[in-house]
Every structure is written in C-alpha cells, then in structure tokens.
Structure 1
Amino acid sequence: MNKCKRCFLYEIAGKEDVYAHVLRTRELLAAKDKASDAVYDKRLAICRECDSLLEATCLKCGCYVEIRALKKDATCPLKRW
C-alpha cells in the first residue's frame, strides 16, 4: 500500500507507466499551448500543499495534476493557479 498522500506520479512506485504518459503528453503539446517549466513547477508546488491532492490526483476534478498543469491555459478547479 502506498502511504504517500501528497505526491506525484513520478514519486509513486509502480506508476512509472502512467508517468511515462505525462512525459509523452508534454512532448506532444505544441509549444504555444505548453506552460513554461517555471509555471509548471510553480503549479505543482501549489498542488503539493493542497489538501485535495491524493496520490497525484486532484480530488476536486479527478485529474492527474501533472497532466493538467502542463497546458498553458489550464486552471486549478480551486482557483489556486
């Protein structure tokens, strides 16, 4: 059983295949649609502190936060970013 509550896919053992999807999605996004690395990292830092983050999933919308945060025009369902 995974005991990590506020973690991301790349940190969860056994989720490497899912995190590979995050990396592939990032690769496929057009540059004009992709959040900068700085914006992406800032978003994930905010998510890490959120009580709605559970094992890389946002409990408010059900998304994997690492994928949602990739897109430049994406927003947090709690309006934190």
Structure 2
Amino acid sequence: MSENQEKNRRCKSCDENMRISPEKLERLIEIATRERPLAPEEQYLQRIEHCRDCSGLQFGSTCRYCGCLVEVRTRLQDSTCPYPLAPRWE
C-alpha cells in the first residue's frame, strides 16, 4: 500500500502529531465522563482490551473508525464499538 493510500485509511484529522500526553488524556477522560454513566470496571477492561487489539487503533489512543479516544469511549456505559464490519464489543 502506498503512503498516500495509507493516509486515506486514517482518520482525516489525525497524524503522528496527534499523540496525547498521559496527563492530557486523564484530564479529557475526567471531563468527558463527569456527568455520564460509566461502564462497570470489568466491562471497561474487556472493551479496552478489544480496542488495544484492533487494527483500527491509531497512535495508541484513537479509533480510526470514529475518531474518538478509546480510553474515553470504552468507559462510557452507553457507548458501542464503531468497527464497521461487526462491533467488537457492545
């Protein structure tokens, strides 16, 4: 696959410069989950493991299919997996 084709497969607004520091990620998680119901810890751990094993994970933090931070999305009770063929978690 050419470099141009690979770029087209990525989230349009993401590139190598989009890496997020652990401190900033924690702050974003805090803000995003402040007033929303959280998934139980066991469910979160199962979800994040699926995301970490997914080919759609970019830069160790971002979902290629929806552009979200997987550490946030997997913590929210009402979230679903955006994998296009079949969700990897509910």
TM-score by length of 2: 0.63
Distance 2:50 2:39 in 1: 15
Deviation of residue 18 (structure 1)? Answer: 2.0
Equivalences for 1:1-81 in 2 at 5 Å? 15-25=21-31, 28-30=34-36, 33-55=37-59, 56-78=61-83, 79-81=87-89
Consecutive unaligned residues of structure 2, counting only runs of 5 or more, are 1-18
TM-score for both structures, normalised by structure 1: 0.70
Q: CA deviation at 1:29?
A: 3.7
Q: What's the counterpart of residue 8 of structure 1?
A: none
Structure 1, unpaired ranges of 5+: 1-12
- The alignment covers a number of residue pairs equal to 67
Q: Which consecutive segments of 4 or more residues in structure 1 shift more than 3 A? A: none
- Alpha-carbon distance in structure 1 between the residues aligned to 2:41 and 2:32: 11
Q: Cα RMSD between the aligned structures?
A: 2.1
User: Which of structures 1 and 2 has the larger relative contact order (alpha carbons within 8 angstroms, sep 6+)?
Assistant: 1
The Cα of 1:48 is off from its aligned counterpart by: 0.7
Identity across the alignment (%): 31
